Amino acid sequence: MKRTHLAAVLLLSASAVALTGCFNGPRATTTTQATMNTGNGVQAQQGDIRIENATLVMSKDGTQSATLLVRFVNEGLEPDALTYATINGETAEILVPEAAGDDATVLLPGASVSYGWDSELRIDAGVLDAPVSSYVPVDLGFANAGLASLSVLVVPQSGYYENVTILP
């Protein structure tokens, strides 16, 4: 009886380790999903600048106009500024209302600046040659933090994005 008991305990111990399934190797989805695009609201870090919720909204009027919704947070100790942007390989227009002044695009330490959503600051693609639900390359250049390259989802101007202003 002792031998049977010992064999059962060893078999149970070996089975527990083999059947746990907590890790399926280096290509398991549990170890790779955080690096893949998950939908709208792309996040990134470039130097001291945190890029949050980057989403491209395509106009519903058929003009292929689009605007980039994004928030920048300066986590550093020095001011920075967005100096240029490209969307799908084309230069994007960074629009700042005259009343906002030249300092509107400066990212002060600890500050958070929104473009396109609840803001008059904008990053617009005149014509975006990309279908809705596709990902397009977006490059954002900062004076100090350097170049951030993202892959951003294109969404239609409907539902949650219905009231986003998109200039032709």
Inside any domain, residue 9: no
Distance from CA of residue 2 to its chain's centroid? Answer: 61
166 lies in some domain: no
Q: Is residue 20 part of a domain?
A: no
- Is the distance from CB of 155 to CB of 161 less than 8 angstroms? yes
Q: Does residue 49 fall inside a structural domain? A: yes
pLDDT in tens, 94-125: 988 887 766 778 899 999 999 998 888 999 99
126 pLDDT higher than 60:
yes
For residue 118, being part of any structural domain is answered with: yes
DSSP letters spanning 41-92: SEEEEETTEEEEEEEEEE-TTSS--EEEEEEEEE-SSS-EEEEEEEETTEEP
For residue 80, what are the domain limits? 40-161
Residue 143: CATH number of its domain? 2.60.40.1150
Between 26-30, 32-36, 37-41, the lowest mean confidence (pLDDT) is in 32-36
Determine the pLDDT at residue 58: 94
In a domain, 28, yes or no: no
Give residue 44's pLDDT.
94
In a domain, 105, yes or no: yes
- Residue 46 located in a structural domain: yes
Query: Which of 58, 53, 22 lies closest to 40 in space, CA to CA?
Result: 53
Mean pLDDT throughout 49-68? Answer: 92
Cα–Cα dist 107/142, whole Å: 10
